[in-house]
């Protein structure tokens, strides 16, 4: 079946612009996760959703970052007034549910470059 998809695959934007990153999880997966992978770094946990609810937003790097999920499916990560340090690969993952220690299925990522 279809895996996790993300769009766009690449995004180049000017400093100060807003960007929206999209994630389509695997059908039936109620848990959805966003991560950031900077060059040479590990994965930085940003936020997770169980259904449409995000119980913990403390992983978001600043108030310029926000995320939402509607209909228990698609999620968007929005970065306002982008800065060069926001340049990274943004990964989305989904799993059957958050309450059980299920493995996550990752999308291919969106490579964001802020010039």
Partner 1 sequence: AQSVAQPEDQVNVAEGNPLTVKCTYSVSGNPYLFWYVQYPNRGLQFLLKYITGDNLVKGSYGFEAEFNKSQTSFHLKKPSALVSDSALYFCAVRDVDFNKFYFGSGTKLNVKP
Chain contacts with partner 1 (rule: CB under 8 A): 4, 31, 33, 35, 41-45, 48, 50, 55-56, 59, 91, 93, 98-99, 101, 103-109
Contact 5, 107 (CB under 8 A): yes
Q: Which residues pair with residue 6 across a beta bridge?
A: 23
Q: Judged by CB, which is closer to partner 1: 69, or 82?
A: 69
Q: Judged by CB, which is closer to partner 1: 73, or 104?
A: 104
Q: Judged by CB, which is closer to partner 1: 72, or 108?
A: 108
Q: Judged by CB, which is closer to partner 1: 27, or 58?
A: 58
Dig out the tokens for 7 from the structure: 């769009």
Considering the complex, what minimum distance in angstroms separates the CB of residue 67 from partner 1?
A: 14
The closest alpha carbon to 114, from 91, 83, 90, belongs to: 83
**How buried is 28 (Cβ within 10 angstroms: 0-12 exposed, 13-18 middle, 19+ buried)?**
exposed
Contacts of 62 (CB under 8 A, 6+ apart): none
């Amino acid at each position: 079946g279809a895996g996790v998809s993300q769009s766009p695959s690449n995004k180049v934007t000017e400093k100060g612009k807003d960007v929206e990153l999209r994630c389509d999880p695997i059908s039936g997966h109620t848990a959805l996760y966003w991560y950031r992978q900077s060059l040479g770094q590990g994965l930085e946990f940003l936020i997770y959703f169980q259904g449409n609810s995000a119980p913990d937003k403390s992983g978001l790097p600043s108030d310029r970052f926000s995320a939402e999920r509607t209909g228990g499916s698609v999620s968007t990560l929005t970065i306002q007034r982008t800065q060069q340090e926001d340049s990274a690969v943004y990964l989305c993952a989904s799993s059957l549910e958050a309450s059980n220690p299920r493995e996550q299925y990752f999308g291919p990522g969106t490579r964001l470059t802020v010039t």
